[in-house]
Amino acid sequence: MSAAEKLVLIVGGGLAGLACAVRLHAAGVRPLIFEGSDGVGGRVRTDPLDGFLLDRGFQVFLDAYPEACELLDKKSLDLRAFRPGALIHQTSGMERVMDVFREPRHLLESALSPVGSFADKLRVAGLRLRLMGRTTQEIAVHEDMTTESYLQRAGFSAAMIDGFFRSFYGGIFLERELQTSSRMFEFTFKMFSQGRATLPAKGMGEIPRQLASRLSPAAIRLGAPVTQIQPGGIVLQSGEKFQGDAVVVATDATTAAELVPAAGAVGAVWRSVKCLYFAANRSPLGEAIIALDGTGAGLVNNVCVPSDLAPEYAPRGQALVSVSVLGSVDPDDLEARVLAELEGWFGRQVREWRHLRTYRIERALPRQSPGTGFTGPGFREQAGVYLCGDHNWSASIEGAIHSGLRTADAIVRFFK
């Protein structure tokens, strides 16, 4: 039988499932996605609300991601970049730390900023040089430890780790303790050094939308939760059954472990985050930059204004403020406490802000302990059932796409 007559059933229409389907389709294999929710994208979706665009949790697309960039048409995503650096809220006020390789005019200001010592800044430059010269494959086999140990071993001062790395990488790993694998740290540090942190002008949801547009509408069934995987087939919650030539489970780690216990998928321990959106009459930052909490004292970890990058994120004359609170802590008066805290950052203008919506994302990122990421082929296989998704490589957009593509490649090889 030729590849063209083969049918692959894919459970989950997140980035991994979509990437897998697009690659299969290109190879002449018929993919059929069953997505449990009402839309594609999984953890990368955008909701319109009263003229605002609300990403389901603040996240960025790093435009140096190698496989994602090869797969996606970056031009039509109309990517808008954050400035390379950050504003750090300290008890003494806002300090600016810029990537001086990209914005050399900030060399003096960044060197003199009280966030870390001058020696720390030289260490950042050295790390940048080292990691830019290292391939992802080299990083994948490099000694692994917690990011905290890695930074200590690299000689960074406690002030630099506490005042910068905990909040900057806290916003990426969704944990300030820096217990995430140092391989993940090295990979993201390299990506930030080589490229830019961006948002598509019309929201992060444009990324899955673009992939879905490459498939025929009949290849995606929405509102179709799968409850059972059987040899060569699946069963939907509705009771409907489907048979195919291979089955791909492209769900999150916990669901994968429930659906395919025999494949040895590890049900993840999750990193959680809350993302609060506010409408403001003007941007409290006034530039495309991420502001971080450098005190470690409050609820807020990071703040940005997506409409400063892409005016499409807010109606004309208004600004969209995005605020991230890490972890599971969730007081009843969360919005009021966050606003009170941000008055300390931005002053009385915060009193005029209007709360739009809060996203509580319990399963945001699987915990990536040392030794768990960047290992294996990027998927698992058990009797014709392939497990794919970010938990099989790295918890990121790149990791999900990498996993989806490797899964499709393996299936095509198998069919041939």
Q: Does 15 bind ligand FAD (CB under 6 A)?
A: yes
Residue placing its CB nearer to ligand FAD in the complex, 21 or 412: 21
Cβ-Cβ contacts under 8 Å for 216 (sequence gap 6 or more): none
Q: Does 14 bind ligand FAD (CB under 6 A)?
A: yes
What is the C-alpha separation between 100 and 413, in angstroms, rounded? 46
Residue placing its CB nearer to ligand FAD in the complex, 33 or 124: 33
3-state secondary structure of 273: strand
Contact criterion met (CB below 8 Å) for 410 and 245 = no
Residue placing its CB nearer to ligand FAD in the complex, 169 or 346: 169
Q: CB of residue 51 vs ligand FAD: minimum separation in angstroms?
A: 23
The window from 12-20, 79-87, 211-219, 296-304 that contacts ligand FAD (CB under 6 A) reads 12-20
Contact criterion met (CB below 8 Å) for 353 and 321 = yes
Q: Does 288 bind ligand FAD (CB under 6 A)?
A: no
Residue placing its CB nearer to ligand FAD in the complex, 279 or 401: 401
For strand 52-55 and strand 233-236, is the pairing parallel, antiparallel, or unpaired? unpaired
Provide the β-strand partners of residue 276: 323, 358
First to last CA, the chain: 9
Quote the longest CA-to-CA distance of the chain.
Answer: 70
Q: Does 12 bind ligand FAD (CB under 6 A)?
A: yes
Q: Does 307 bind ligand FAD (CB under 6 A)?
A: no
**What ranges in 142-240 are assigned the alpha helix state H?**
147-153, 158-160, 166-173, 182-194, 206-212
Residue of 10, 21, 24, 36 interacting with ligand FAD (CB under 6 A): 36
Q: Does 248 bind ligand FAD (CB under 6 A)?
A: no
The window from 92-100, 126-134, 249-257, 405-413 that contacts ligand FAD (CB under 6 A) reads 249-257
What is the C-alpha separation between 312 and 354, in angstroms, rounded? 18
What's the Rg (C-alpha) of the chain? 22
Residue of 250, 304, 305, 410 interacting with ligand FAD (CB under 6 A): 250
Q: Please, how many CA atoms are within 13 Å of residue 224, restricted to the half-sphere of its CB? A: 20
Residue of 67, 99, 175, 252 interacting with ligand FAD (CB under 6 A): 252
Residue placing its CB nearer to ligand FAD in the complex, 299 or 364: 364
Q: Considering only residues 308 through 367, tell me which ones interact with ligand FAD, judged by CB under 6 A.
A: 361, 364-365
Segment (H or E) for 275 = strand 270-280
Residue of 8, 16, 21, 385 interacting with ligand FAD (CB under 6 A): 16
Residue of 30, 43, 176, 406 interacting with ligand FAD (CB under 6 A): 43
3-state secondary structure of 54: strand
Residue of 59, 181, 210, 302 interacting with ligand FAD (CB under 6 A): 59
Which residue in 317, 312, 358, 314 sits closest to 335, CA to CA?
Answer: 358
The window from 109-117, 123-131, 176-184, 389-397 that contacts ligand FAD (CB under 6 A) reads 389-397
Provide the β-strand partners of residue 10: 33, 248
**Phi, psi angles (nearest 5°) of residue 263:** -80, 0
Q: Considering only residues 60 through 89, tell me which ones interact with ligand FAD, judged by CB under 6 A.
A: 60
What is the C-alpha separation between 163 and 343, in angstroms, rounded? 20
Residue placing its CB nearer to ligand FAD in the complex, 14 or 116: 14
Residues near ligand FAD (CB under 6 A) are: 11-17, 34-37, 42-44, 57, 59-60, 225-226, 250-252, 255, 273, 361, 364-365, 389-390, 395-400
